[in-house]
């Protein structure tokens, strides 16, 4: 885990800055030589920052009412998996092999990243860490447990009952593992 602890000499010292997730994705693509990009590769480069992004990716589509029946159940299952891993304190998300090995052509991944990065940069500016106490293990795990409960509710087939839980998880995703700094 990448938890920053202030030095005893200077308790007010600032945490070291880390590259934002958008920069990591761009750098990854600049160096990637393979024909395909696996989910495992993306999670490996994002490390613990993958948690916040995954929570947002699986929760946010449910904030907007949509005509696709069962979407909340489909997205609720991986949301539960991600939140449960955060509850137990895994340093970065783990996926079963059949999911971790899922891949897409590098050219297609590049297209997705080029379209997503401008939005991600806007989100990174909006979600600068404010409540640093929520990013430390006891509070982080409690927040993750709350997200897990909301993910379970989200997966239930309740008409229009998924909007508020999805919104809460989406908002919490910026606190669970900051995307751009510890």
User: How far, in Å, CA of 58 to CA of 102, rounded?
Assistant: 17
pTM beyond 0.85, yes or no: no
Q: Is residue 62 part of a domain?
A: yes
Q: Is residue 68 part of a domain?
A: yes
* Model pLDDT for residues 28-62, shown as the tens digit of each residue: 999 999 999 998 999 999 888 888 888 988 898 88
Q: Is 100 in contact with 40 (CB distance < 8 Å)?
A: yes
DSSP-assigned beta bridge partners for residue 103? 38
User: How far, in Å, CA of 94 to CA of 108, rounded?
Assistant: 23
Number of domains into which the chain is organized? 1
User: How far, in Å, CA of 49 to CA of 112, rounded?
Assistant: 18
Q: What is the residue range of 50's domain?
A: 21-176
Q: Is residue 14 part of a domain?
A: no
pLDDT bin (cut points 50, 70, 90) of residue 134 is: low
Using CA atoms, how far residue 101 sits from 73, 98, 135, in Å, is 23, 6, 29
């Amino acid at each position: 885990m990448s938890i920053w602890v202030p030095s005893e000499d200077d308790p007010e010292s600032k945490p070291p800055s880390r590259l934002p997730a958008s920069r990591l994705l761009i750098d990854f693509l600049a160096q990637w030589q393979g024909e395909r990009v696996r989910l495992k590769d993306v999670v490996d480069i994002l490390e613990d920052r993958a948690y916040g992004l995954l929570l947002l990716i699986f929760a946010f589509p449910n904030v907007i009412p949509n005509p696709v029946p069962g979407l909340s159940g489909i997205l609720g299952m991986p949301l539960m998996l991600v939140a449960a891993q955060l509850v137990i304190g895994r340093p970065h998300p783990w996926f079963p092999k059949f999911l971790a090995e899922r891949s897409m052509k590098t050219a297609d991944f590049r297209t997705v990243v080029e379209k997503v990065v401008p939005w991600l940069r806007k989100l990174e500016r909006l979600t600068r860490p404010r409540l640093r106490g929520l990013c430390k293990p006891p509070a982080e795990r409690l927040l993750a447990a709350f997200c897990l409960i909301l993910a379970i509710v989200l997966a239930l087939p309740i008409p229009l009952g998924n909007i508020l839980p999805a919104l809460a998880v989406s908002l919490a995703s910026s606190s669970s593992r900051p995307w751009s700094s510890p």
